[in-house]
Structure 1
Amino acid sequence: MKKLFGILAVVFVLTSCQEQQKIAYVDNAKVVNEFQKKVDFEKIFQVKVAAFNKKADSLEQAIQIEAQLFQAKAAKMPQKSAETEYQALLQKKQMQDYQLQGEEQSLQGEGQKQIDTLIKEVKAFVKDYGKKNGYTYILGANDAGSVMYGTESNDITQTVIDALNADAKKEE
């Protein structure tokens, strides 16, 4: 009888120690790309990029017109004056290129900073979502292969996207 009680006690201890782990995965890229805040940001950012491109094109056209005018009158100018004006035109073009390069880098930096902020927000949301819904792990699937295989029943990508967007709407 003591042996039977001892065996039952060991079996009870072993089975009670085994905790069921809840594991799921999400497609990282899909979650970020379908996050409404990112979609909205991209629309706004595309407008900024288009405005920058339009400005760059108009400045380039203006400098080309100046160059054509210079070529037309250069033949009638003394060589020294023509060289001086040509150097001034080159310097103006270089300054314009430098300014546009700075603006482009600034625009790219702004875009990258916003994307990084959105990625951090998604990560924090998934972590909180996992805690609230009793997950032991939520793995991230990506092209690098961090999740090589997972059953579709463990894919909570769309659920997380829906919850993330609903949460973001509440913040507005």
Structure 2
Amino acid sequence: MKTLMYVFIVALGTLACQQEKKIGYVDNGTVINQYQEKRDVEDKFQAREEAFTKRADSISKAFQLEVQQTQIDARKASQKKAQELMQGLQQKQQMLQQQMQFEQQQLSQAFQTEIDSLIIKVKTFVRNYGKDNGYTYILGTSDAAASVLYGTDENNLTQIILDALNAAYQKQ
């Protein structure tokens, strides 16, 4: 009787441990790159980049005109005055270059901050999707870091997650 009870407990324990785990995977690159919010962020920053480039070109053209005028003035001035004019131009050029570099860095940092925030948002969404749909694991893969070397199509949640993300974004 005791032996039968032990066999029953071991069998029950084994069956309990055999509960199938629900596992899925997503292609991170596809989800991020086809997520509409990311596309909108890229479009916004593309517009800001174009505006920055136009402004930089305008400043550059104005500076080139100033250089030409200063060169004309320097030819008419004494050697000492000509050197002062040219030094002033060099200082202004350095200041303008530093200003443009600073603005370019600001733009790049702002873009990276938004992309990082977006990635966190996607990870949180996938985590919540997994919890809400009974997944034990949702793995991520990409061309750069292939943690899933093989998975069946039925375990590929890429399009499902992408559709759900885009739908949630459209509701905002």
TM-score, normalised relative to structure 1: 0.91
Structure 1 distance, partners of 2:106, 2:3, is 76
In structure 2, the partner of 1:116 is 116
Query: Once the 2 structures are TM-superposed, how far is the Cα of residue 112 of structure 1 from its aligned partner?
Result: 0.5
Whole-angstrom distance in 1 between the partners of 2:135 and 2:51: 45
In structure 2, what is the equivalent of residue 168 of structure 1? 169
Fraction of identical pairs, as percent: 48
> Residue by residue, what CA displacement relative to the aligned partner does 1:20-66 show, whole Å, maximum 9, x if unpaired?
10111101111111111111111111000000011111111111111
Alpha-carbon offset, residue 9 of structure 1: 5.2
Runs of 4+ residues over 4 Å off in structure 1: 1-9
Alignment RMSD, CA only?
Answer: 1.7
Distance between the aligned counterparts of 1:58 and 1:113, measured in 2? 28
Where do residues 56-75 of structure 1 align in structure 2 (5 Å cutoff)? 56-75=56-75
2:100 aligned with 1:100, yes or no? Answer: yes
Distance 1:31 1:154 in 2: 15
User: In structure 2, how many angstroms separate the alpha carbons of the residues matched to 1:69 and 1:121?
Assistant: 53
Distance, in Å, in 2 between the alignment partners of 1:141 and 1:78 is 69
Partners of 2:140 and 2:17 in 1: how far apart?
28
Q: Quick one: distance in 2 between partners of 1:21 and 1:45?
A: 42
Deviation digits for residues 117-151 of structure 1 (CA, Å, limit 9, x no counterpart): 00000000000000001111000002222112222
Q: In structure 2, what is the Cα distance between the partners aligned to 1:68 and 1:32?
A: 49
Kindly provide the amino acid, as one letter, of the partner of residue 155 in structure 2.
Answer: N
Unpaired segments of 5 or more residues in structure 2?
A: none
Structure 2 residue 29 is the aligned partner of structure 1 residue 29 = yes
**Aligned mates of 2:127, 2:3 — CA distance in 1:** 46
Q: Deviations over 1:42-96 (max 9, x none)?
A: 1111000000011111111111111122223322211111111111111111111
